[in-house]
Structure 1
Amino acid sequence: MSSNVLGTEGYAENAAQLIERWESMSFFDLHGDVAHLLPEVPSLILDVGAGSGKDAAALAEMGHSTVAVEPVDGLRKFGSTRQRSSRIEWVDDSLPDLNVVHSMNLAFDVAMLTAVGMHLDTPERVHAMRHLSSFLLTGGHVLMTIRHGLVPAGRHMFEVAAEETMQLAADCGLRCVYSETKGSIQESNRNQGVTWTRLAFRRN
């Protein structure tokens, strides 16, 4: 499916390098700032842009069940082979519509979008936020990160303001409970001035 999805450019071609990079980072290195927002009891989590499945595997170890959405064939195949768990269901789907996820008729406690939002243009971001809100249970959270700075060659990426994302979320009944921008944890990106905004929203 990856060849048909805008925003996946550069991922299939560099899958091996990206997998090595992602697998070297722990879940708490990436998500420690918002880990307290994860449910304490086994819950259902939507991981959009699941990549190599590193996060989905960590969530499974915590007892959660995860629908891992990944449109890049090579990444999804690696993840489904490497991260073998009855608590992970791999899905070939993508934002902004998430048609396959919608057809599953599930309600999620958490939706995670790690390094995904900046691949969507403005209309797509509006559409995506509406869908994500509709998938969440009351009291559920959207946890997301957005990249800022130099765009890697061959990537389909936009500059997305945190304030815009907060407004989109508010329009969909999602209240911002966490916002912070900091330098990349990857030294090469940090040296190029790349920063990341982490946002968390709660469905009222």
Structure 2
Amino acid sequence: MIDPTPLASTAGYGEAADTLVEQYESVSFADVHRDVLHLFPSQPSAILDIGAGSGRDAAALAGQGHVVIAAEPTAELRALGQRIHDDRDIEWVDDSLPEMRMLRSRSQRFNLILLTAVWMHLDEMQRALAMESIADMLASEGRVILSLRHGPVPAGRRMFNVSAHETIELARGHGLSVVHHSEREDPHGRRGVRWTYLGLQQENAADTV
């Protein structure tokens, strides 16, 4: 029998917001993104952090002089993130994939779009729509940095087993090429959990590595 009320992509995050924020903030931006730090812009740029969570990454990037929008659909996480990082100039918005309706309605373009631990929460149809949204919001020569979680799914959460290959092929269908692909262990040390990191860029501007 099909469950008539499947879990939403944000299921379990609001109820566990306090614990999750403590977990997110226990590791640094530099440690989480150590394999892809070279892909972040070195000059002040427009950055969109989708699924910003506690705002750890958004705060680090704002501290580097970037103009950062943190999109977080879970109200509890968004409120905690705003409070924790109120010393940083971050614009927080209630927006989410796959449509990103608010930001796309502004016709904004970003030099970097960051998706940390977001993509595997979307089902196959949502991922197709989401990649279209991302490509639409990307500035010329802009990049996407995306991480995929693999391993056990925490109770009460919705995650899908999404491969790097599928994600790369979907990106290519929207004019994005791979400029980085790496695998690593879980920065929190959780057993059985590992991560894929992908860097994507418009094909006409990319030198694939």
TM-score interval, normalised by the smaller of the two chains:
over 0.9
Establish whether residue 165 from structure 1 lines up as the match of residue 164 from structure 2.
Answer: no
Counting aligned pairs with the same residue, the percent is 46
Matching residue of 1:184: 186
Contact 1:60 1:85 in 2 (8 A): no
The 5 A counterparts of 1:31-180 are 31-85=33-87, 87-180=89-182
Give RMSD over aligned pairs: 1.2
Deviations 1:18-61 (A, max 9, x none): 10011111111011211111111110001000001111100011
Deviations 1:61-104 (A, max 9, x none): 10001110000001001111221256311000110000011122
Establish whether residue 28 from structure 1 lines up as the match of residue 30 from structure 2.
Answer: yes
Matching residue of 1:197: 196
Tell me the secondary structure at the aligned position of residue 59 of structure 1: helix
Give me the whole-angstrom Cα distance separating, in 1, the residues matched to 2:128 and 2:87.
33
Tell me the secondary structure at the aligned position of residue 187 of structure 2: coil
Contact 1:7 1:120 in 2 (8 A): yes
Give me the whole-angstrom Cα distance separating, in 2, the residues matched to 1:6 and 1:185.
25
Structure 1 stretches of 4+ moved >4 Å:
none
Contact 1:22 1:52 in 2 (8 A): yes
Contact 2:179 2:200 in 1 (8 A): yes
What runs of 5+ residues in structure 1 fail to find an aligned partner? none
TM-score normalized by the length of structure 2:
0.91
Contact 1:137 1:203 in 2 (8 A): no
Tell me the secondary structure at the aligned position of residue 39 of structure 1: coil
TM-score normalized by the length of structure 1:
0.93
